[in-house]
Amino acid sequence: MAEHGVAEKLPPDGRSMTPSLPNVPIAQSPVDKFREFLDIKKLKCTEERLRIVRYIFEAHQHFDVDQLLESMREKKIPASRPTVYRTLNLLVDAGLLRRLTFGETTAYEHAYGYPRHEHLFCERCGGVIEFVSEELDRLLQSISREHRFRPISRKLVVQGVCEKCSKPTADRRKLDLI
């Protein structure tokens, strides 16, 4: 009664947390960039905000709000849920994070210090494979031009099944027939 395709949660297997692309050289640290943003917007640079930003840019790649809250709690870094939401919105506005939607979950990933890329999302295990394609870039540029459309950003998620999940295994769950 509640399937409507697609995995419900990001998997806890660490897969979605692992960056797969080389970092990109950056002039300022994410924290400095965020400071700059707060400054321009006349917002205050508080300890709570910095804690969250520092934590996010320490290691995570893809995460959702609950994963972030839980892992911060584990590490005894205090942060309330509303402040996390508020800060994530600031970080998206600041261009430091990108908000993603895989299946049902809202996830976040680094948008700064990490190359622009697209996602192959496995509907079976919830895993994400990242890829970069200049050809895709050129193609979308040219299509946009044909329509006199000025592209700013894009969201591309190819949904399907990854290698691991398409290999039949002994213990694989029975597929939902139909």
Token match 């924290």: residue? 31
Residue placing its CB nearer to a second copy in the complex, 76 or 174: 174
Burial grade of 41 (CB within 10 A; 0-12, 13-18, 19 or more)? exposed
Residue placing its CB nearer to DNA in the complex, 32 or 66: 66
Residue 48, interface with DNA (CB under 7 A)? Answer: yes
* Angle ∠(154,84,23) on CA atoms, nearest 5: 50
d(CA 132, CA 88): 25
Q: What's the closest the beta carbon of residue 106 comes to DNA, in angstroms?
A: 4
Q: What's the closest the beta carbon of residue 3 comes to a second copy, in angstroms?
A: 8
Q: Residue 76's binding partner, choosing from a second copy, DNA, none, with beta-carbon cut-off 5 to 8 A by kind?
A: none
d(CA 64, CA 9): 9
Residue 115, interface with a second copy (CB under 8 A)? Answer: no
Question: Which spans of this chain sit near DNA (rule: CB under 7 A)?
Answer: 1-2, 4, 42-49, 64-66, 78-83, 85-87, 89, 106
